[in-house]
Structure 1
Amino acid sequence: MKNELILRTKCFALDCWSFCFKVPKSREYNAFVNQLIRSSSSVGANYRAAQRAKSTADFINKLKIVKEEVDESVYWLEIFQEVLPEHEEEVLKLQKEGKELLAITVASINTAKRNRQRK
């Protein structure tokens, strides 16, 4: 599962980048593009960092960053859905993956918290 999530989070960043490449170039769109690229790439980077956590508390804290970044990515995708309806199919696919990654991350945080309490 761990290696699968490393790959999924990396693909999420790359898929968001590929989408952003198709967005028209303008000052307004560029602001949104920059935010989506930043947050979506941070998902995978922080997930990988969580795998090298020094403690359970550190692991949970790093996963909380993943949760925030993937949620932010979904937000920017919602914005793109509004401003670029012609790309709705691709945006919905990215949103679906983002929401799945968010659900997995939340479940992982909850599991880590439960396991920590049992010790």
Structure 2
Amino acid sequence: MTKTYNLEERTYEFARNCRFLIAKLPKTIQNIEDGKQLVRSSGSVAANYIEANEKLGDKDFVFRVKIARKEAKESKLWLRLLETQNPKLKEFINPLYNEADELRKILSAILNKS
């Protein structure tokens, strides 16, 4: 997976790749429910970062970046749960988990500079 340095594009790619992962999962109750949550949280990272860039002011920017960071942390939870249920898919899940953590760190750095 190559790194994208445009953060709007990178958050989009994260959400898209989470959806590709979900398509590979066996259709169990756990995978369906955790997959739905991952779809929401990964998409929310991207959506809130885009909204932050269309800010109405500095407070709005900080608020949206905080939400995006929170959703990145939440995505890590769903990915961990999915890995527990699907250890054979670890090679697909681990890079997404690492990307969620990197996005969280980047968003934290943005907040520290704001």
TM-score range, shorter chain: over 0.9
Specify which of 89, 97, 105 is matched with residue 87 of structure 1: 89
- Amino acid in structure 2 at the alignment position of 1:55: G
The letter of the residue matching 2:85 is V
Q: Give the TM-score of the pair, scaled to structure 1.
A: 0.89
Q: Residue 37 of structure 2 aligns with which residue?
A: 35
The count of aligned residue pairs is 110
1:76 to 74, 78, 84: 78
1:11-50 map, 5 Å: 11-50=13-52
Pair 1:4-2:6 in alignment? yes
d(CA) in 1 for partners of 2:89, 2:31? 14
CA distance in 1, matches of 2:40, 2:58: 26
Which aligned segments of 4 or more residues in structure 1 are displaced greater than 3 angstroms? none
**Superposed displacement of residue 57, structure 1:** 1.0
Structure 2: unaligned runs, 5 residues or longer: none
Is structure 2 residue 87 aligned with structure 1 residue 104? no
Distance 2:92 2:81 in 1: 13
Residue 81 of structure 1: how far off its partner (Å): 1.4
Give SS of 1:24's match: coil
SS of structure 1 residue aligned to 2:27:
coil
Provide the rounded CA distance (Å) in 1 between the counterparts of 2:59 and 2:68: 14
